Amino acid sequence: MDLKQFIQRDETCWEIPAKGAMRVPAIIYADASLLQAMDQKVHEQICNVAALPGIVEAAYAMPDAHWGYGFPIGGVGAFDADQGGVISAGGVGFDISCGVRTLHTGLTMNDLQGVKKDLADELYRTVPAGVGSRGRIHLNHDEMRAMLTGGAQWAVDQGFGEARDLEFTEERGRVDGAEPRDVSPRARERQKDEMGTLGSGNHYLEVQRVVEIFDQEVAEAYRLKIDAIVISIHCGSRGLGHQIGTEFLKDMALAASQYHIALPDRELACAPLNSPLGKRYLGAMRAGINCALANRQIITHLTRQAMNEIFPGISIDLLYDVSHNTCKQERHIVGGVTQTVFVHRKGATRAFGPGHPDLPTEYQSVGQPVLIGGSMGTSSYILCGTKQAEQRSFSSACHGAGRAMSRRQATKQWHGRALVDQLAEQGILIRSPSLRGVAEEAPAAYKDVSAVVDSADKAGLAKKVARLEPVICIKG
């Protein structure tokens, strides 16, 4: 991307002034090298977001931004419902509430010696992964409704986990305002056998080792130590979320003229937040969020079962669970005044700073854990939210490495079996039902996650706390 298109505000802040149909400026947070490597489509898409009705302050793109459907992945926009603000299914994404959950194991790398292969095999047997994967849970109509309104709280009530898990889960494991009646029969049908499954694509369960600490105070609050073993789970709302997104994007595109919305791009189909269609999408999307929270909670339960097969009596606690494909009703400062806005985060992680009332007591003094997954075989990071991000990005940060090429391009350059063997030589065990899926997620198909995280840190979006290296990866 040509840097001449921007006004550089500081080392990692690049502004596109409002022009033409844009109602607010657009801002991309990245260092110069990351920005230059971004597709020009990111520039086009974030400017289109800035043209949507009711957007406030600016449209933002995170350091891992790349081309997406409607919004760029890594895009953030906040909308005022009282000023005609809209909600866009393309601004949330198809995998509603896709997110990351990280677990403490109390183990160190030494504890895995001699059992690493057995552990990889047990996790792979226990946690279903892959396209169309089905779990052992089969929901009837009433159970589906209870899950869509109850989220992780429902899962815990069903015996999938512990009540203390909810304290360390975004929204305490359940978002209000979910409306199962707004979720179509087709979406429910797709989900009834998929609870407790990873799915495919870039979703994973990864056993990781803490190899570097950047902030000792925050690391202590998060109970992170060098050589500690943690487990991270990355997945979302599976077929239900995808179906919700597909159906409402179509409905929103058809209704645009009815609401007198001139779409800069059909993929940005949206509806006023206060309209019947907007309210129906909100209800369905919130049900999708609860589905994802319940799904990760069930996978946590399955992970505990697998770990206990190898390490009988082990206690596994939740560090945190946070989503990165949502639209949330939040209070933020806009034009010097605190007001309610609806924050779209598509491939962007909520990153509340110290003192935020929604944080667990244990994290009040340091800020929210921000869980950043790397590409397969590369480092992941744990960051913490900052006060600065509240002003700079509506408390939002990056969510991962961000793709550097399409999945199709990746399969032309790499072979799954060769990658599995190569990573095994590095001490990283991969288990996956699809070698093509492994090729699609080749490490080099993604940006350098370390550069992304460094940019987020320099921009004040989130502060680096710890770096993790993979030991075992269960891939969809």
Angle, helices 276-310/238-255, rounded to nearest 10 degrees? 170
Binding residues for Mn(2+): 95, 203, 234, 324
Please check whether residue 102 is in contact with residue 382, taking contact to mean a CB–CB distance below 8 angstroms: yes
Please report the pLDDT score of residue 133 as a whole number. Answer: 75
Please report the pLDDT score of residue 201 as a whole number. Answer: 84
Please report the pLDDT score of residue 43 as a whole number. Answer: 97
Please check whether residue 354 is in contact with residue 387, taking contact to mean a CB–CB distance below 8 angstroms: yes
Please report the pLDDT score of residue 447 as a whole number. Answer: 84
The tokens of 375 are what?
A: 């590409």
Distance of alpha carbon 9 from alpha carbon 179, whole angstroms: 43
Residue 20 phi, psi (nearest 5)? 60, -125
Please report the pLDDT score of residue 402 as a whole number. Answer: 80
Please report the pLDDT score of residue 124 as a whole number. Answer: 96
Distance of alpha carbon 188 from alpha carbon 179, whole angstroms: 13
What does the longest C-alpha to C-alpha distance in the chain come to? 65
pLDDT mean by block of 10 residues, the chain; 476 residues = 95 98 98 96 97 98 95 97 97 96 98 98 93 83 98 98 97 98 97 93 94 98 98 96 97 95 93 98 98 98 98 98 97 96 98 97 98 92 97 96 86 91 95 91 89 97 98 93
Which one of 43, 66, 344, 399 is the catalytic residue?
399
Binding residues for GMP: 202-206, 324-325, 373-376, 380, 399-402, 475
The enclosing H or E element of 77 equals strand 73-79
Please check whether residue 351 is in contact with residue 332, taking contact to mean a CB–CB distance below 8 angstroms: no
Angle at 277 between CA 271 and CA 279, to 5 degrees: 95
For tokens 């110069």, the residue is 32
Q: Which of 60, 39, 22, 79 has its CA nearest to residue 271? A: 79
> Does residue 399 carry a catalytic annotation?
yes
Total count of residues recorded for the chain = 476
Please report the pLDDT score of residue 34 as a whole number. Answer: 96
Residue 405: C-alpha distances to residues 10, 30, 75, 440, 476 (Å): 28, 18, 18, 10, 19
Q: Hey, what domains does the chain have and what are their CATH numbers?
A: 3-404+446-475 (3.90.1860.10)
Tell me the residue type at 357.
P
pTM summary value: 0.96
Distance of alpha carbon 404 from alpha carbon 312, whole angstroms: 42
